[in-house]
Structure 1
Amino acid sequence: LQTLTLFTLAGELHSYSEVCEALSTLEVALGFLSMTGGDAHMQLSYYLEKDLQMGDQIAPHVLKALSMCCLQHCVALWQLLSSLKSENMLRLRRDPFVDVSEKYKEPLSEEQKRLLTGFFSKSSADAFLLEMHEFLLLVLKKPKALDTFKPNWLKITLVSYIESKDMNVSPDVEELFPEEICLSHYVEAWKFIIASKQERGQ
């Protein structure tokens, strides 16, 4: 899914409730697609309205936003919407990561904040942030995450995760992401970068 489309779609969903509705609608679609499959090039809104007969249950504004994507974009769209939900929760002073172990929530030092700010100012990191968030939700939220992922190397762990999905890791991440940031800082690192972006109005 192209970055421009992602930003446009994100801009269409103005509130936490709209993001939640879009995400829950998408998760229904993903559930059906996992069982029945579908035409990768079919417009998502068409699939929701015609195949799933859900048109009347979805707010027109949300349906319009989802119409920007085809079925082949559903996983990337889930990644975006789930992150937007967490970002909106932060704005509302709610914790999106209640279920994540405290071992991954150590506070950042001022030096670590400076290093993170430097990294994200030099690199196009939106895709990396989405991967960070997905890893948080799908992996670190699991009750037994600590058995596998010790709170040490963040970069190595996340790079391995991205590569396991047959995706390329940005050279910026390989070269510039600060080694000083550990998995123990994972949640606070993600929150810090999102808060910084929100302050800059990005």
Structure 2
Amino acid sequence: MSYESNIAMLLPTKRDFGLCATGLVDFLIDTQNEFLERYHSIKKLQMSQASVSPSDLLPSHLIAYDLDRDLLPLILSQCQYIVRPMAENKIEYNLQGLELQLIERFIRGRALIDRKFDQLFFRQFVRNASIFKILRDKIPQVKLTSAVKCSIVTELKSFQNLCKSLASLDIAIGFLANYKAEGDMLIKNYLQDKLAMPVDKGLISSTASQQCRLKHILALWQVLAVDKALRLTIDAQDPFDDIGEDYRENLNGQQRKYLTDQLKHIKVDLLCAELFEYIVLNLSYQSTNTEDRTNWPIVETLESYYESKNENGEIAGLDQFPNTLLMSHAVDTWRTIAQFHNKQPVQG
């Protein structure tokens, strides 16, 4: 490591540069625990199995010393320098006293450390199916009504405000996946009171601020993320800059025409939202799942994904979706759906 190294190397995460810090912390925890277990075994002492969370550690819990400041003075205090005329001087060490001092200063009262420790989430890591599942398990999620969703989108006319609101949700989701919170707490209050986020960087929409609670956070994230993607599509920009070429195979003319015809029989706004969410959470470079899904049929994949989030739920008309389209066509399929959606009135 040098001054030119990425600072992420010092921040424990589950992937990329942060694995260095994660490995180091895990090694240090394991080293202390093994040392204490070995000490108690040699001394034939009963060892407490209580452990301390890394976030609660104090200096008094750790086996730690400085060679010059702590160890050398202790050694010198237990040695005797004998000057003998006409003979070689002699140094004698009180090893029993030194052992007792070492135990008292550096071992007694030290704690086992829990190997589970908090790790950081960068914003781009939050957009991951496993993170969303963890949050759903912690805080059961509830859908937003069509009226609320429509009102939020209408209020966020500024693209900059939309991006600010979405960024604040990414940060909140990362925290909520790791820490407990009450589902009925307003998202606005969580951002300001718990995360100390400035008002101008939180939810800009007054409807979202007043209506959306933590139990709605994933539904709100979907609304904002999809709206951002739709706006980018209208401006001929790519909303999937983190998706690899394996999932970008273009539809041919016949496939595109047939899909467009079938979309007339499907609840397009829901299809558009769910397919977008699936692509972003499961197919991006940031996804922890590296399984090749290119040959998975889109319709079957989407059915399974939607049902996993909503008991007995279904996307109306999905049985009309072309069953020949595969996940290798995912990006172009979504783009075709988005273009169709942008031409339609808002669906209730």
Relative to the length of structure 2, the TM-score reads: 0.52
Change (3 A) 1:108 1:146: farther
Q: Which moved more, 1:76-85 or 1:29-38?
A: 29-38
Q: For the aligned residues, what is the CA RMSD?
A: 2.5
Q: Confirm whether residue 183 of structure 1 aligns to residue 327 of structure 2.
A: yes
- Aligned counterpart in structure 2 of residue 154 of structure 1, from 284, 295, 298: 298
- The whole-number CA distance in structure 2 between the counterparts of 1:177 and 1:29 is 35
Q: Does structure 1 conserve the Cα–Cα contact (< 8 Å) formed by 2:186 and 2:213?
A: yes
Q: CA deviation at 1:157?
A: 1.8
Specify the SS of the correspondent of 1:62.
Answer: coil
Q: Would the aligned equivalents of 1:103 and 1:151 in 2 still touch at CA under 8 Å?
A: no
Amino acid in the other structure paired with 1:64: S
- Where is the helix percentage greater, Structure 1 or Structure 2? 1
* Distance of 2:255 and 2:192 partners within structure 1: 47
Distance 1:143 1:43 in 2: 29
Superposed, which structure 2 residues align to 1:88-127 within 5 Å? 88-127=231-270
* Preserved CA contact (<8 Å) 2:268 2:341: no
Supply the distance in 1 between the matched residues of 2:267 and 2:334 (Cα, whole angstroms): 15
Matched to 1:178, the amino acid is P
Code of the residue aligned with 1:46 in structure 2: it is N
Q: Which residue of 2 aligns with 1:77?
A: 220
Aligned partners of 1:147 and 1:36: how far apart in 2? Answer: 29
Task: Select the residue among 188, 206, 217 that pairs with 1:64.
Answer: 206
Distance change >3 Å, CA 163–CA 200, structure 1 → 2: closer
Per-residue displacement from partner, 1:128-177 (whole Å, max 9, x unpaired)?
2211011111111137867431335111122222233354223521x211
Specify the alignment match of 1:50 in structure 2.
193
Matched, 1:133 2:276: yes
Distance 2:270 2:316 in 1: 13
Distance 2:168 2:286 in 1: 26
Query: Does the 8 Å CA contact 1:105/1:186 hold for their aligned counterparts?
Result: yes
Larger RCO: Structure 1 or Structure 2 (Cα < 8 Å, ≥ 6 residues apart)? 1
Write the distance in 2 (CA, Å) between the matches of 1:53 and 1:64: 19
SS in 2 for 1:54: coil
Cα gap change, 1:189 to 1:4, in 2 (>3 Å): same
Decide whether aligned partners of structure 1 residues 56 and 76 sit closer, same or farther in structure 2, where only a CA change above 3 A counts: closer
Q: 1:172 to 1:117 in 2, by over 3 A?
A: same
The number of equivalent residue pairs is 200
Deviation at 1:181, TM superposition (A): 2.0
Mapped contact 1:40–1:70 kept (Cα < 8 A): yes
- Output one character per residue of 1:2-27: Cα deviation in whole Å (capped at 9) or x when no partner: 12211211111113212110101112
8 Å Cα contact 1:152/1:183 also seen in 2: yes
Contact 2:148 2:207 in 1 (8 A): no
Are residue 11 (structure 1) and residue 148 (structure 2) matched?
Answer: no
The 3 A distance-change label for structure 1 pair 7 and 119 is farther
The alpha-carbon distance between structure 1 residues 104 and 95, as it changes in their structure 2 partners (threshold 3 A), is same
Question: 3-state DSSP class of the match of 1:36?
Answer: coil
Q: Which runs of 5+ in 2 are unaligned?
A: 1-143
What is the one-letter code of the residue matched to 2:333? A
Change (3 A) 1:63 1:53: farther
Amino acid at match of 1:153: P
Q: 1:169 aligns with which of 311, 314, 323?
A: 314
Q: Which of the pair has more CA radius of gyration?
A: 2
Report the residue type matching 2:193 in the other structure: K
Quote the Cα distance in structure 2 between the aligned partners of 1:114 and 1:170: 21
Task: State the identity %.
Answer: 28
